[in-house]
Structure 1
């Protein structure tokens, strides 16, 4: 059976890889599977998709959240090789063209207006980051479940906090520990960028958001876009568990730069990688 025909009306997400060297995720529901970003090499994305039993020619789209190289590296190659449409807004597509080149089809979206890929209703919302028109997303499944995707944010806006209410699952940036960043090896201008309003969320920033949005219906969390130099996995998970006080039994994963997470969906881990 095809890896996209998972027989569920829920949304499942697997992080193919996440971090400063490259980001890509798989979103799957019954009859549809697409990428969110393609910042890994085409070879690595193809290889990691196979761990979910999915071939790249089974994909239906690539959604690009913004134009930074760690999110679009192989988008053009994959789109041309497998005849995949690129879904993104005009500003991001224009800013990406020099890197991705001409692609078979561009599906223009407008941040703030929902669109559909297969049976998944996607609600894009603006995020603060140093890019042309970056956005996060809410994925609405046919069974009514809502899953959020929010990385590359300098801070949590009121809009993001509002959009991320009432979720069953969330992919959320836990980029850095503030003390590790300040005392780490990065040049001061880079430290300022990361901590700035158009940079990345710290563990503490993410934890504050979780405390605000996690309810009894919240089922799983994937911590993503983790700095290898300015963060530690144990610290991330401890911070997230504390923020999910009262929801400790929820499934909690941290994404890796070098290997995919399991697929996560209704009730938690939906499928182990092979």
Structure 2
């Protein structure tokens, strides 16, 4: 199992997961054109996907999902609440597979175990992924705080995609209106660097091979700060964290850690 983030941030999120049995996307918040262009860099086209998994209905996670599903006849996995709340953004979808929180399902040979995350969406979830070889990766973004369940799912994984959304001082002193600042820092908002680093320090251990810091705010954070906080939390793990960008894909990550940029 290999993973690359095609883009990450408030303008669009998409995670490409590839196994020996196929490939799929987790979220499709970039435009369909952007997704196609960025997938091409990894030797794939959207028509080769086994489908899309949608974690919640916000536009930065579904912007291109409907267009991709209709053009290529792709099935979509999500839960009922997300499907209903996102109907206007997604449009008509031919093939749906209903996801239930806590009930694992499989796409392209990868076992996906959805778990609830605290965010202001209908029924948002993170994912614990496991390939046939037993390789485990957790995706935990778009959450206002770290729950006990999130901690449990992030322990013992080899790879971790974790939200480092904002630096609290930058958020509070920045240009956003106060209600938006309150939403971002609230229990159903986004994860601060401090809270993310705290979780990372708890789960860092011998099993962990790589960490991607994701959903980094372009207005209320800096990559330098994120990497400093994450590296301090990973003290002694023997690898450096990677900061995902809104504007370009990450390298591929898989067994052994970071891999070459292209297949």
TM-score using structure 1 length: 0.94
Aligned equivalent of 1:174, options 164, 167, 170: 164
Q: For 2:17 and 2:230, how far apart are their aligned partners in 1?
A: 23
Q: For 2:60 and 2:181, how far apart are their aligned partners in 1?
A: 18
By how many angstroms is 1:273 displaced? 3.6
Q: For 1:110 and 1:251, how far apart are their aligned partners in 2?
A: 35
By how many angstroms is 1:256 displaced? 0.5
Q: How many residue pairs were aligned?
A: 263
Are the counterparts in 2 of residues 218 and 250 from structure 1 also a CA contact under 8 Å? no
Aligned equivalent of 1:263, options 252, 257, 260: 252
When structure 1 is superposed on structure 2, of 263-272 and 224-233 the one drifting more is 263-272
Q: Does 1:253 align with 2:242?
A: yes
Q: For 1:144 and 1:113, how far apart are their aligned partners in 2?
A: 18
Three-state SS of the structure 2 residue aligned to 1:38 is: coil
Q: For 1:244 and 1:269, how far apart are their aligned partners in 2?
A: 16
Q: Does 1:73 align with 2:63?
A: yes
Match of 1:64 in 2: 54
Are the counterparts in 1 of residues 151 and 199 from structure 2 also a CA contact under 8 Å? yes
Q: For 1:68 and 1:217, how far apart are their aligned partners in 2?
A: 33
Q: For 2:131 and 2:21, how far apart are their aligned partners in 1?
A: 12
Which residues in structure 2 correspond to 1:17-36 (within 5 Å)? 17-36=7-26
Match of 1:6 in 2: none
Match of 2:91 in 1: 101
Q: Which consecutive segments of 4 or more residues in structure 1 shift more than 6 A?
A: none
TM-score using structure 2 length: 0.98
Q: Does 1:215 align with 2:215?
A: no
Three-state SS of the structure 2 residue aligned to 1:172 is: strand
Are the counterparts in 2 of residues 39 and 75 from structure 1 also a CA contact under 8 Å? yes
Three-state SS of the structure 1 residue aligned to 2:212 is: strand
Q: For 1:204 and 1:135, how far apart are their aligned partners in 2?
A: 21
Match of 1:86 in 2: 76
Q: For 1:58 and 1:17, how far apart are their aligned partners in 2?
A: 19
Are the counterparts in 2 of residues 17 and 255 from structure 1 also a CA contact under 8 Å? yes
Are the counterparts in 2 of residues 65 and 134 from structure 1 also a CA contact under 8 Å? yes
By how many angstroms is 1:251 displaced? 4.4
Q: Does 1:158 align with 2:132?
A: no
By how many angstroms is 1:270 displaced? 2.4
Q: Does 1:236 align with 2:258?
A: no
Structure 2 stretches of 5 or more lacking a match?
none
Q: For 1:118 and 1:91, how far apart are their aligned partners in 2?
A: 24
Match of 1:123 in 2: 113
Q: For 1:48 and 1:251, how far apart are their aligned partners in 2?
A: 24
Are the counterparts in 2 of residues 16 and 23 from structure 1 also a CA contact under 8 Å? yes
Q: For 1:138 and 1:20, how far apart are their aligned partners in 2?
A: 22
Are the counterparts in 1 of residues 24 and 108 from structure 2 also a CA contact under 8 Å? no
Three-state SS of the structure 1 residue aligned to 2:27 is: strand
Three-state SS of the structure 2 residue aligned to 1:128 is: coil
Q: For 1:99 and 1:144, how far apart are their aligned partners in 2?
A: 35
